[in-house]
Structure formats: C-alpha cells, structure tokens
C-alpha cells in the first residue's frame, strides 16, 4: 500500500511499520501523526528500520512503540499487537513497579541505564513467563530540549541464561557425581600432577581427606606412590590414550606403617579447548577384598587338588536338573574306565557296581533324593567291577545331595576313595581274628566244663575257699567267653558272614536268662520289670548277646552295688527293651559316637575298665539287621539308658 506522506518516516514492509501506519493515533494523547514532533518521527524511523530489538515510550503517558525485532519477545496470546499505542502503565502492569522508576529517572534527566540478563517475568503465551533481558534505557530529547521519550534497546537473553544455568547445573551435577561416587576419582594436571578434582572415595583409598589432596601436587602428598604411578601417568599423558589396569597392587604409608591393597584403574586423558591433553583423570576401584578372596580361593583349590591327589580321592558331580554326571579321572579309574567321554548314572555308575551291591546302593541313593527320608548325607562302601579291566575294587563314597526350596534334589556331589587294600587287610585281620577266636573257644569250653565238674564236687565237701575260687574262675571264663564271642561275631559281620537264624520266642524268657547270667558275675542289683510278655521273631542268640552286652556295660560303667533296671514293653507296635543304670553316664560328644566301631570313651571313670569298643557297634548292627533301632540317652554322672526296639512277631500283632 502506498505510504502516505505523513508516514514517510515509517516506510518499509515490516509488520510494526504497517501497524503504526494503520493505527488511529488521533484517538491517543499523541494526536494525529502530522502533529507529531520531528524528534518522535526520527526516533520511530530509527526504531522501525533497526534489526535490533527496540522499544520506545513517548509522551507523558509513555505510549508504547516497538519494532519487528522486538516483537518475538512478546510471544503469542499476550501483548502483541494490543500494547502498541497503549500507555506503559496499562501495557506492562506485571513489571510496572520495576520499570516506572527507571522511566521516571530518565525523564527527570537521569543517565542511561544498562542491565544484563535481568529476570523480568512478563505475560506472554497465555501466562506469566520468566524472561531474561539485557537492556539499556536512554532519553530522547525533543525540540523543547526535554526528555520526551525513553528509548529502550533490549534483547531477550532467556535462552542464553537457561543455557548458562543448565551448564552450571550440569557442572554442579558433575561435581556431585564425582563427590558422591563410591569409586575413587582424581583429576591431575601440569608437570607436578596437581590435584584439580578429587573425591572422598579416592581419599579413603589412601587414608587422606579431600582437603589434604585438593590443589596440591599428588606426589607431594603421597611421595611413596611416585615411583609406581608417575611413569603410568606420564605414559597416558604422552600417548593421549586411555589405559586400564586390573588388580594393580598399591601401597601407602600410615603412621610409618605400610598399608597395601589392589586397585582396578582407568586412566582417562582429558583435553583443553584446543584439543591438547591437559591432564589425566583416574578412576580407582578398591578390589583388595576380591583379590584376597580370589587368592584364598585359588590357594584352597590348590590345597584341595593336592589333598585329593595325596589321598587319591576321586570326585563325582551329578546335576539332577540337567541330568548330567561328571566324573574326574580318579573316579573313572575306580570304575575301570579309561576314556574321557560322557558318563551316565545308569550306564556307567549302576552297571559298574558289583551285582551284589547294586540293589543296596541304588536303594540308598533313591532314599537320599527324598527330602522327607534323608538329610542328603551319603556315606557308603561298595564294590565295583571295572568295565574295561573287569577288576574288583572296594570304594568308599561320601557325598551330599542338595535340595531346592521345593525340596527337590538338584545336585549330588561327593568323593570316592579306593579302599581295596584296606579292605583286603581287614579281611586278612578278620580271618585271623576268626581263627584265633575259634581256637581259643575250644580250650575255654573244656575249661568251663572242668570248672563245672569241679564246682559240683566241691559243693559236697563244703570247702568255702575252693567254692569261691571255682566261682571266680567261672566268672572269668564267662567274661572271656563273651569277649571271644564278640570277636567272632565281629569278624563274621565284617566279612559279611553274619547271618540271622530267626525263630519265634518270648522276650521275657530271654531277658530273664540274660539277667540270671549277669547276676552270676556281679554283685550289682538288677531289677527286671516286664509289663507285657512280647513275642518276637528274631535270632535269639544274637538278641541275647545284645541284651548281655547292654547289661555288662551297665555293670562295667557303674559303681559297685548300684542298681540296674531292665524293662520290656510295647511301644508303637514294637517291643521296646531298655537297660538303665545309675553309673558314670556319657557326655554329649561321646554319646554321638559310642555305636562306632572301636570307639571307647577316654576319661578317669573308664580308664580302668577293660573293653575293645566293639560291643555296641555289633549290637547296633544286629538290631539293624532285625529292622529295629537302637539308641541311648545319658547324663554325665547320673547314669545312662540304652534302648532298642524289635518288630513283634506277626503272630503277636
């Protein structure tokens, strides 16, 4: 549209030029344009044609003008274009308190102002927004020589301020990150490796505080580290490449004491604006515990390996989830296998077992995998027949089954030991014991017969001395006979030759017989209380030897003349036999072991009592062969009670 003469000072295509031209100024205190002073026109001409944001307040009411460059700062849905021609107090109510004094001071002849990055929140974009400004207010002197207007050159710096504050924030965050990090961080610059940044975690590694280190040459604070670490830093600085060191040893001095440890280290060179390597940032993580644990583990593994080698132990490992089985070299030897290939439970283990042991061991393992039946402990002896060499070997296997939370077996691991030689020696020893015992029994039987004859003869002669002497000799023969019977049974049992010869009988009869026999050899009072006469189907001789053994022990391990009680009653559909004494008692540790072969309690009470530690072992085996159980309860110096159970004969139940 052609520019009227009046508006020549506003010529141009800008939006604000057009808006000013179209505005009905005659309705404002400024009056029509042709009445405007030249000073206003000139100022507006500068304003409208400038590419720099400008604002003008003119006249007593401070009527607003602004240019296209200023317009974006007013945003949308705000002041544009409504504040054009509006009095400042109406146009800028939200910042009027701030700008009024500035305007007034300029109008009063004051000096131009300059403010940088000042926050003046204004209404724009439909809301009050934080806006930062850099601006200068200066007077426009009119033809009457008075400041008729206030000229504002300004630029919005919100973006810049936000950028700077974001930068500051991220720098702050970086500092927090460094100071809160649990990894030690230190940044070093200059020839003397001055500490520019350091965190408490780094300080902790060398027992120093951040204050001890910050802004000081590192090796002045920590001279002992110079020898090892200065060359590393120098090489990183000269190469400009990062460097990673793992489990690197380090040390420092603390009160003349040398402290050391291990670190994982990352050396990261960092550059200045020109891209020159300025220093090195080091991240250090203390891995002393891990390295120590690893060393301990490696040492223990080595010890285990050596012990295994020395003890000739083999190992097995069954993963019951995957269904795999691992055997080491030694374990393979025990099953006569020379290949390194895959082995399996059915094909290699079960078939490798001696046919006479297979069912027993498979049964034990089946039970072992059932959490309700076992605690997972495995300790067995079996024979193997080598698959490739057909050789018979004796093996002792010890292991453990591990269960998951659902009580399912997940893993079965353990070790195996070749006990063939030991077994052969045991067999030889058993044979020897069997022969010796057998040979001793014959003269002992004749001796007993002779003594019985002598006893009968002496009775009629009423010779007190001879009667007692013969009685004592008979007691000793009985003791010796018991001992020899024990050895014979032991050797039979050990060589697998102990067999049961079961028959039906009443327990009371047997117990009374045994009590009578014992009474013959002791002055102790033996009380027999049987509540129920129970019939069992068992090997009478062997059960008698168990009762005799319990009674003999009750006598042996009690003071003279103390009393012993024997009971027999029905419990849980089993016969329960108990022998109680008021003797020395057994402490907890010994109590757990007394059923072991050759186990004897060693203390002042027992040191003069003769025995071999086989009686309870054999008794336990005999009761186990009868599907019964045997156990003991005891209190030191109070006495002991030994119990065993036997299933009733079927005709009884």
Q: What are phi and psi of 630, to 5 degrees?
A: -135, 140
The answer to whether the CB of 634 falls within 8 A of the CB of 577 is: no
Residue partners of 478: CB distance under 8 A and separation at least 6: 448, 517, 520, 521
Smallest gap from Cβ 594 to ligand ADP, in A, equals 4
Of 219 and 599, nearer to ligand ADP (C-beta) is 599
Closer to ligand ADP by CB, 203 or 615: give it. 615
Which is closer to ligand ADP, CB of 342 or CB of 609? 609
Residue 363 to residue 448: CA distance in whole angstroms: 46
Altogether, the residues listed in the chain come to a count of 653
Identify which of residues 545 and 649 has a Cβ nearer to ligand ADP in the complex.
545
**Nearest approach, Cβ of 459 to ligand ADP (angstroms)?**
33
Contact yes or no for 384/336 (Cβ under 8 A): yes
User: C-beta of 527: minimal distance to ligand ADP in Å?
Assistant: 15
Minimal distance, residue 485 CB to ligand ADP, in Å: 13
Chain-centroid distance of CA 341 in Å reads: 34
- What DSSP letter does each residue of 383-418 carry, written as one string? EEE-TTT--EEEEEEEEEEEE-TTS-EEEEEEEEEE
Asked whether the beta carbons of 448 and 577 are under 8 A apart, the reply is: no
Nearer to ligand ADP by C-beta: 351 or 517?
Answer: 517
Q: Least CB distance from residue 567 to ligand ADP, whole Å?
A: 15
Closest CA to 485 of 615, 625, 624, 622: 615
Who contacts 413 (Cβ-Cβ below 8 Å, separation ≥6)? 315, 316, 317, 318, 399, 400, 402
Nearer to ligand ADP, 156 or 581 (CB): 581
Q: How far is the CB of 252 from ligand ADP (least distance, A)?
A: 59
Report which secondary-structure segment, H or E, holds 432: helix 420-461
Nearer to ligand ADP, 186 or 618 (CB): 618
The encoded tokens of residue 242 equal 């990062």
Q: Output 325 or 483, the one with its CB closest to ligand ADP.
A: 483
Residue whose C-beta lies closest to ligand ADP: 611
**Residue 245 to residue 268: CA distance in whole angstroms:** 12
**CB-wise, 424 or 609, nearer to ligand ADP?**
609
Cβ-based nearer residue to ligand ADP, 372 or 608? 608
Q: How far is the CB of 479 from ligand ADP (least distance, A)?
A: 11
Min. distance of Cβ 582 from ligand ADP in angstroms?
10
Q: Please check whether residue 639 is in contact with residue 583, taking contact to mean a CB–CB distance below 8 angstroms.
A: yes
Q: Taken in order 298, 304, 308, 311, is the CA torsion positive or negative?
A: positive
Q: What is the rounded radius of gyration, in angstroms, for the C-alpha atoms of the chain? A: 53
CA 36 to chain centre: 88
Shortest separation between residue 555's beta carbon and ligand ADP, angstroms:
9
The helix (H) or strand (E) run that includes residue 495 is none
Positions in the binding site for ligand ADP (CB under 6 A): 549, 553-554, 557, 581, 583-584, 586, 594, 599-601, 606, 611-617, 640
Spatial strand order of the sheet with 257-271 comes to 194-198, 184-189, 277-286, 257-271, 243-254
d(CA 362, CA 356): 11
- Nearest Cα neighbor of 400 from 387, 389, 410, 386 is 410
Q: How far is the CB of 518 from ligand ADP (least distance, A)?
A: 13
Cβ nearer to ligand ADP, comparing 150 with 586: 586
| Cβ-based neighbours of 243, under 8 Å, separated by 6 or more | 232, 235, 236, 265, 266, 267
| Nearest to ligand ADP of 157, 553 (CB atom) | 553
Shorter beta-carbon distance to ligand ADP: residue 494 or 581: 581
| Residue 265, number of CB atoms within 10 A of its CB | 20
Supply the minimum distance, in Å, between the C-beta of residue 515 and ligand ADP. Answer: 15
């Amino acid at each position: 549209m052609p520019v009227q003469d009046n508006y020549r000072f506003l010529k141009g295509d800008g939006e604000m030029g057009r808006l000013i031209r179209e505005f009905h100024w005659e309705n404002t205190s400024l009056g029509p344009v042709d009445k405007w002073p030249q000073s206003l026109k000139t100022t507006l001409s500068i304003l409208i044609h400038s590419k720099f944001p400008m604002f003008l307040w003119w006249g007593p009411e401070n009527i607003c003008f602004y240019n296209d460059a200023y317009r974006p700062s007013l945003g949308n849905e705000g002041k544009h274009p409504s504040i054009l021609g509006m009095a400042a107090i109406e146009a800028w109510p939200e910042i009027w308190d701030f700008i009024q004094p500035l305007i007034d001071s300029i109008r009063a002849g004051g000096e131009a102002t300059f403010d940088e990055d000042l926050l003046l929140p204004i209404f724009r974009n439909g809301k009050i927004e934080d806006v930062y400004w850099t601006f200068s207010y200066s007077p426009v002197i009119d033809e009457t020589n008075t400041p008729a207007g206030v000229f504002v050159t300004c630029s919005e710096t919100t973006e810049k301020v936000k950028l700077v504050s974001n930068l500051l924030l991220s720098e702050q965050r970086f500092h927090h990150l460094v100071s809160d990090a649990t990894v030690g961080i230190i940044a070093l610059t200059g020839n003397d490796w001055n500490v520019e940044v350091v965190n408490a975690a780094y300080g902790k590694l060398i027992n120093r505080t951040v204050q001890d280190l910050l802004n000081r040459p590192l090796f002045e604070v920590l001279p002992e580290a110079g020898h090892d670490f200065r060359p590393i830093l120098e090489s990183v600085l000269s190469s400009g490449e990062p460097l990673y060191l793992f489990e690197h040893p380090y040390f420092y001095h603390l009160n003349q004491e040398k402290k050391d440890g291990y670190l994982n280290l990352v050396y990261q060179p960092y550059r200045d604006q020109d891209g020159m390597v300025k220093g090195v940032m080091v991240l250090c993580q203390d891995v002393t515990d891990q390295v120590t644990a690893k060393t301990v583990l490696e040492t223990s593994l080595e010890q285990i390996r050596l012990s295994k080698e020395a003890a000739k132990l083999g190992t097995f490992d069954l993963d019951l989830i995957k269904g795999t089985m691992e055997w080491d070299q030694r374990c393979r030897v025990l099953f006569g296998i020379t290949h390194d290939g895959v082995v399996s439970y059915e094909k290699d283990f079960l078939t490798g077992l001696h046919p006479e042991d297979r069912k027993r061991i498979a049964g034990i393992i089946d039970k072992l995998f059932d959490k309700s039946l076992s605690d997972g402990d495995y300790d067995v002896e079996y024979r193997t027949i080598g698959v490739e060499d057909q050789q018979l070997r004796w093996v002792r296997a010890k292991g453990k089954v591990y269960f998951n939370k659902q009580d399912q077996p997940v893993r079965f691991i353990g070790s195996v030991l070749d006990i063939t030689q030991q077994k052969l020696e045991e067999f030889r020893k058993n044979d020897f014991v069997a022969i010796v015992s057998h040979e001793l029994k014959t003269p002992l039987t004749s001796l007993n017969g002779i003594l019985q004859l002598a006893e009968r003869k002496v009775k009629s002669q009423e010779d007190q001395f001879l009667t007692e002497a013969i009685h004592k000799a008979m007691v000793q023969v009985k003791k010796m006979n018991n001992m020899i019977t024990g050895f014979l049974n032991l050797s039979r049992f050990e060589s697998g030759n102990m067999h049961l010869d079961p028959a039906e009988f009443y327990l009371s009869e047997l117990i009374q017989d045994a009590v009578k026999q014992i009474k013959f050899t002791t002055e102790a009072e033996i009380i027999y209380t049987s509540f129920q006469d129970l019939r069992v189907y068992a090997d009478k001789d062997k059960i008698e030897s168990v009762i005799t053994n319990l009674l003999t022990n009750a006598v042996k391990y009690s003071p003279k003349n103390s009393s012993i009680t024997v009971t027999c009653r029905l419990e849980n559909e089993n016969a329960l036999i108990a022998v109680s004494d008021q003797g020395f008692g057994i402490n907890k540790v010994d109590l757990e072991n007394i059923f072991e072969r050759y186990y004897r309690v060693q203390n002042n009470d027992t040191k003069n009592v003769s025995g071999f530690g086989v009686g309870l072992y054999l008794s336990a085996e005999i009761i186990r062969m009868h599907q019964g159980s045997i156990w003991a309860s005891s209190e030191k110096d109070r006495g002991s009670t030994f119990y065993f159970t036997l299933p009733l004969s079927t005709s009884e139940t």
